[in-house]
Structure 1
Amino acid sequence: MEFAEVVRRRRMTRAYTDAPVDPGVVERALDRATRAPSAGFSQGWAFVVLDSPDAVAGFWRAQTDDALPDGSPDRWLRGMMGAPVVVVPCSRRDAYLDRYAAPDKARAALSEADADPDEAAGRWAMPYWHLDTAMAALLLQQSVVDDGLGCCFFGLVPHRVDAVKERLGLVGDGAPHPIGAITIGHPADPGHGARGSAATRRRTPWREVAHRGAWGAGWS
């Protein structure tokens, strides 16, 4: 598939068939994800791959509130829970601490204090371990689309993050931090899953968000 077509076809797939996912699709996606850029080539990402029914079900038990309003999943959750594969991309801050303690990065060295975003602000504009992992996650999604499947990146429920981390073994000092999750599978027929915001909101043309030279200049 041409790159432009991959970009055009990427959508948030919110419902899946029960067809299994070829393990080669996941392995190719992981390989391509590691081609993402990273600050100092720190490569501070990790991926927890859930590709068995028990592992996927365990993730959803950790991610979902025990008491749903009517005792059953809503349309969004029913569609998403049908995905046979869930990948949880995680960021590894320690990889950046180690990398920026190396001699060639000493001038930009991070410290343990940089765990606090306010403390880190004076050195780095943002915690790049999260940003770099997000870029890797996008490459993973585009690889899945290139193989003809669907996927959806979504955030973890804030008050369920600790439960998810415990379920996935992401505990203890230096454990990777999950930045979200990605469902992967064969898309179900349109109409089975919940409608996303893109169905009711206009996609903003690039000329309305690009500014040549300075903010507010617009694009002429």
Structure 2
Amino acid sequence: MKKKFGICFGYLVFFNIFTGLSTWLFSALLTDKRLAIIIAAAVFVLGIFLGFTLQRKRPLPVNSAIIALSGIGTGLAVSAYFIHVNFKDFIDLATLGQNILLADIAVLTFYCLYGLSLNIPILERHIKLYTYSVLIVFLLLTIALWANQDKFLFSLVFYFYINTALFVFPLIMRVVTIKDLIFRLTVASFGALLLITLVTLIIISEGDGFDLDLSGRGVIDVESPKKSKINEPNEH
């Protein structure tokens, strides 16, 4: 499990660094929320282009670059929310940076605790049900905190939680090679960018809500991370 978890956790940290830095930077520099969304969409298109044109030639560096780009795009989408709520009238950039750091630490702690919990045999045996249940409960918790507590902190907790939740799936999905795992992590980063952009679009357009299919139905083949073939010494 250590090898697979280490790869997933490392890329989540990598992705969140770009998300956090771009959130802070573009919240400071941009004043037009629509421009932030447009640039985020352009970053998404660029990532798709790189994936289709270069991914097969040099998969590791290209996928890493795409994950970084997706993090930047995600940060742009988050910054659109902060521009929308006129955050500069309420908090300064130092406080925003502090909130980003706190939110990131919170979700990374969640990811580590979730990974450790998979060492419990009964949870490992029911990994899909357990994972979906945990993700839904914490999703509802982050939404409740955002709605009822400090929106400048807990909106970030929600956004970073989305990143983290999507990076849970590569951890438990059955893969054989590191190349396959990193590809799934790349898809997760795309998913985070797309989902967070859509959520932000709904918020800034004052929509009434959105639907997430969290029923757990599907044919995703999962595995316990500690039993993954990736952990075998001769895997490369």
TM tier relative to shorter chain: under 0.3
TM-score (norm 1): 0.27
Relative to its length, the structure with more strand (as a share) is 1
Relative to its length, the structure with more helix (as a share) is 2
TM-score (norm 2): 0.26
Q: Which entry has the higher C-alpha Rg, 1 or 2?
A: 1
